Structure 1
Amino acid sequence: MTKARCSTCLSVTLFCLNLFFCLCGLALIAVSLWGYYDNNFERELKAELNKDNFQYAKEGFIGVVWFLFSVGVFAFAIGVLGCIRALTTNRCIIGFYIVSIFVLFLIGLGVGIFVLACRARIRNEFKVVVEKAYNADRGGMAAVEKRFCCGYGNRNGTAVREPPPESCNGKSVMTPCADALWDQLDRLLMISGIVLIVALVLMAIAILLSCALCRTVKRGRILCDIKPKLRSVNPSLHINSF
């Protein structure tokens, strides 16, 4: 009886965990669709960027929107599969769910290790990209300077000279764009890393719960097969239910 209650508790916990995955997936889908269909996003982009760079920024924004949409659909699908898995004893569904979430766990872990191991290389390549952007698209970097930084290397390297960008006044007078933009990216990577760690912990818990339930289901089936044989040998034998 105690084992049956433990199995029920594990199933409920796994169901709630995968329901959380479903809600996160739906939230990402809703935000991505909102960003794609809401015209306010387009007006805000126009207000922040020059007209010459608006089309490029819009294309990048749409790419991010569809990426979030894809991640949301995948998270929702995994969550639905996990909810079905928590309510069923079908070993095919159980196995498919465990393999799917384990592969996703390995991918997330690999991405996290790669970013940590190659952080210095990513920073150097990012600075090269910023330098090339200064040489190729002065207008676009002018819009960036107005918001984040003051020139590629120092104030003398500003793309906007008349008048100087607002970021060249006050505390950020000597903040190079390469460093300022990297700080923004590094902050984003840090937040993404925290989210990734939380996701990996939740996926690890889901894998452990699924394996425990799979073992419980297997034991229950073995016990169901053994009971009739034992009773046929000794009818007076009483076996408690699993």
Structure 2
Amino acid sequence: MAEHPDLGRVLRQEADRHVPDRDAILTRVARRRGEPSRSRWAFLTLRPVAAAASVVATLVVGFAGIKLVGDREPAQPPAATGTSAPVSPAPSPSPSASSTDPSPVDDPPVGTTTRPHQPQATTGTPPAPKWTPVAGYLSSAAEVDSHSNATWAQGNLVLTTTETVTALDVLVSVVRTDGVANAGQWSSIPAEMLTMTVSEEKDALLYRFTLHEGATLAPGAYTFAAQYLHATGERDQDADSYGAIATGGAGGKKVEISGAFTD
């Protein structure tokens, strides 16, 4: 899947201005509504944790995608909240294990409950995504969980970093097809290091995950899950999308990444 030609330019402009252009977003949404869903890239409007509660209300999502905006500088020196070292990836849990404070894993954990923040490991292994976007030290893979059913589903986004991350903002967009309603969200990053919110927009549910200022993530894979209800039957997830902005590595390099979900 080819990269959106305007992604780099838009991200750089928005990172400099720090102020989302709501009119421009609405214009882009109106212009792109007629395009096929598989040809769209997702863009996000992401801003720092300091104003997370008020910022989420300003995010606007349409079939055109979501802008990405990131302007937080890495904390110096980096230190995870409540600990003196970055959070490190841990081995995958055993098939019978269940945890409310999951650690990063190689494969996305599978949720079997609609209760928020309650992931549950299983023996199922979802099929590999059809493509994996990469941006610098950050790569991603997103798919609908294999344990989703006729009325409930979970989208699993796995971000893998080869550098220590000092700032991270993630947004998962679930398009509001028939019956779509929020059923929870969770991450393998400890809850005390992360702010998680859901914004119900006209066209989509926006699941946001923001790393607390001062927290750091060691190189490894981290899971972000969005759970939702939907009308009975098979749901088309082609327009569901995600985006993330991370800061990390030597010199605090900022990278952006976006993509779509596979079934």
Q: TM-score, length-normalised on structure 1? A: 0.22
* TM-score of the pair, normalised by structure 2: 0.21
Larger Rg: 1
Question: Larger strand proportion, structure 1 or 2?
Answer: 2
